[in-house]
């Protein structure tokens, strides 16, 4: 089968590419390497270096997508805090980019479009766990853009007959996550700080809680989304572990010294209800965060 993965040189996309290649599929990647890395590339996949928001390249996109069963749309500028500093750049990239990929998939007569959505659509909610029917209330440009992408997917299912499904990932971690720079997430930052033998920095008092999801579980959810006959109508589905942990406890589990900084504007907690994913995709999270940390620390020689 032929598949296209946008953002396939990034953290999540590259794991998905590897899984599809392992299953002997023909895999095409569209990526402009803005945050993607050459070292994430799989020698058995075919890479097309384009910006997904470049509307002048629509014919090229259609050509790449023709004959594909499904598109996995992972490409985005993918972090909350940098989107607050640069909302217009993020808007062009994430919303125009998604619209462009939907249009390309529809013109190329692709069967299904699987969209990497985000728990950021829930924003600062106090009603937890989050169910998919809860009212989205994004609290960042990134969260709003991710939500608009879901609306566009649903609309394409209705108006253009393109099967779509939106997967709302909760704080993904795993091998190849960024360990430093503006795009690193909290687990990566803590690990890097421990490797450098510096204290782990916590914004605020560390009582904020996050639901962390292993990248391999996210990959499985994507593949099941392409196969399931119960989705395709623009459904939004939570992909989380269904448990959360405070950032302070996470830090204590990873390393030793902690320093506290001023709080940033961020949701106090997130937590997924994953009943819908179980029902529609027959998916459930397998990997435990603490098991993975123990394993990973030992692999990279961090004690």
Ligand X SMILES: NC(=O)c1ccc[n+]([C@@H]2O[C@H](COP(=O)([O-])OP(=O)(O)OC[C@H]3O[C@@H](n4cnc5c(N)ncnc54)[C@H](O)[C@@H]3O)[C@@H](O)[C@H]2O)c1
Choice among 115, 142, 148, 173 that is catalytic: 142
DSSP state of 56: G
Per DSSP, 199 falls in state: P
Active site residue 142: yes
Task: Kindly state the smallest distance separating residue 120's Cβ from ligand X, in Å.
Answer: 7
- For the CB of residue 256, give the shortest distance to ligand X in the complex, in Å: 25
Q: How far is the CB of 212 from ligand X (least distance, A)?
A: 9
Residue nearest to ligand X (CB): 10
| Closer to ligand X by Cβ: residue 11 or 292 | 11
Query: Sign of torsion, CA 19 23 24 25?
Result: negative
Closer residue to ligand X (CB): 74 or 247: 74
CB of 113 to ligand X, least distance (A): 13
As beta bridge partners, residue 173 has 214
Which spans of this chain sit near ligand X (rule: CB under 6 A)? 7, 9-13, 30-36, 51-53, 74-78, 93, 97, 116, 118, 146, 169, 171-172, 183, 185
Neighbours of 65 (CB within 10 A): 25
Would you say 142 or 200 has its CB closer to ligand X? Answer: 142
Q: DSSP strand E in the chain: where? A: 2-6, 26-30, 46-48, 70-73, 112-118, 163-169, 172-173, 200-203, 209-210, 213-214, 233-239, 245-246, 258-261
Judged by CB, which is closer to ligand X: 13, or 123?
A: 13
- 10 Å CB burial of residue 225 (0-12, 13-18, 19+) is buried
Q: Which residues are catalytic?
A: 142
């Amino acid at each position: 089968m032929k598949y296209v993965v946008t953002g396939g040189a990034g953290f999540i996309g590259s794991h998905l590419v590897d899984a599809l290649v392992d299953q002997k599929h023909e895999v095409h990647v569209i990526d402009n390497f803005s945050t993607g890395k050459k070292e994430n590339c799989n020698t058995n996949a075919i890479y097309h270096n384009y910006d997904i928001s470049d509307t002048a390249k629509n014919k090229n996109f259609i050509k790449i997508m023709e004959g594909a069963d499904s598109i996995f749309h992972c490409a985005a500028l993918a972090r909350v805090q940098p989107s607050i500093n640069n909302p217009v750049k993020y808007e062009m990239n994430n919303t125009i980019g998604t619209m462009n990929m939907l249009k390309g998939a529809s013109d190329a007569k692709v069967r299904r479009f699987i969209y990497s959505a985000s728990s950021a659509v829930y924003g600062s909610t106090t009603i937890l766990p989050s169910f998919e029917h809860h009212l989205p209330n994004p609290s960042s440009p990134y969260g709003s853009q991710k939500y608009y992408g879901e609306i566009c997917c649903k609309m394409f299912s209705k108006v253009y007959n393109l099967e779509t499904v939106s997967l709302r990932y909760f704080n993904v971690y795993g091998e190849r996550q960024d360990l430093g720079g503006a795009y690193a997430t909290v687990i990566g930052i803590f690990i890097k700080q421990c490797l450098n033998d510096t204290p782990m920095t916590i914004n605020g008092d560390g009582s904020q809680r996050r639901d962390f999801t292993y990248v391999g579980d996210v990959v499985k959810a994507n593949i099941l989304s392409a196969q399931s006959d119960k989705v395709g109508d623009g459904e939004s589905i939570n992909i989380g572990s269904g448990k959360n942990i405070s950032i302070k406890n996470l830090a204590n589990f990873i390393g030793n010294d902690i320093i506290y900084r001023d709080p940033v504007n961020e949701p106090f907690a997130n937590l997924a209800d994953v009943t819908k994913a179980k029902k529609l995709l027959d998916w459930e999270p397998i990997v435990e965060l603490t098991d993975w940390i123990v394993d990973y620390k030992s692999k990279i020689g961090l004690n």
